[in-house]
Amino acid sequence: MTAYFPPPDNGLNVIHVDNEIIVVDKPAGLLSVPGRGEGMDDCLASRVQARYPDAIIAHRLDMSTSGLLVLARGAEMHRQLSRFFRERQIDKRYVAVVYGLMADDGGEVELPLICDWPNRPRQKVDFEIGKPSLTRFRVVSRDPEANTTRVELEPVTGRSHQLRVHMASLGHPILGDDLYGGEATALADRLLLHAMDLGLFHPLTAAAIQFHSDAPF
């Protein structure tokens, strides 16, 4: 197993907090929840709970991914947020830098995914037993000199590693991806994937709320 070296705890980047929810900006390299094994306890959930003991994480980002995460305050709010995610009532948009110049300005990737069990945590495309997975993409800009494309990604479904596998399946892996990047792995010192936009209905007031975090790359 790869050694875990989480970023130093220099304080939370809290985007929003009220009596029902907390929205934070997770740094790359930090687990969302505790990992298995010794020395894997430091994570976003534990750091938030140190300040807000009633916080319960409602979804996850890959350790290598940075960006917005929402946590519930208390069990009832957690049930409501979990239902929102289950019913796809929460909008999430990511930004990534991928290898190569994407030909299409936008489109969809619909490829079923399943855990590649002998090589976990890797996921793989499997048309027989894979779970339906849909990603929408929109090109933001292309850099011919660097041979890269900045792209906005919307995961309609929420499978593990979905955005990473779907981009790699197009022949445009995300830079810095140590699982699916191939030669693109060495082109960045971190995974260039960031959860930049989060939209949801407030679980108490039902008001539509939006949060944004600029990508650090």
Q: What is the residue-level pLDDT of the chain in tens, covering all 217 positions?
A: 568 999 999 999 999 999 999 999 999 999 999 988 888 999 999 999 999 999 999 999 999 999 999 999 999 999 999 999 999 999 999 999 999 999 999 999 999 999 999 998 999 999 999 999 999 999 999 999 999 999 999 999 999 999 999 999 999 999 999 999 999 999 999 999 999 999 999 999 999 999 999 999 9
Among this protein's residues, is 42 annotated catalytic?
Answer: no
- Residue 2: the pLDDT is 67
- Residue 18: the pLDDT is 97
Enumerate the β-bridge partners of residue 26. Answer: 67
Nearest CA among 55, 32, 40 for reference residue 3: 40
Q: Is residue 90 a contact partner of residue 84, using CB atoms and an 8 Å limit?
A: yes
- Residue 3: the pLDDT is 81
Q: DSSP labels for 11-70?
A: ---EEEE-SSEEEEEEPTT--SS--SSTT----HHHHHHHH-TTEEE-S---TT-EEEEE
- Residue 19: the pLDDT is 97
Nearest CA among 96, 68, 112, 121 for reference residue 184: 96
- Residue 163: the pLDDT is 98
The active-site residue, picked from 62, 104, 126, 143, is 62
Contacts of 145 (CB under 8 A, 6+ apart): none
Q: Three-class SS string for 174-212?
A: ECCCCCCCHHHHHHCCCCCEEEEEEEEECCCCCCEEEEE
The domain defined by 94-193 carries CATH number 3.40.50.10300? no
User: Terminus-to-terminus CA distance in the chain, angstroms?
Assistant: 28
Q: CA triplet 151, 91, 96: central angle to 5 degrees?
A: 20
Domain boundaries, the chain: 94-193
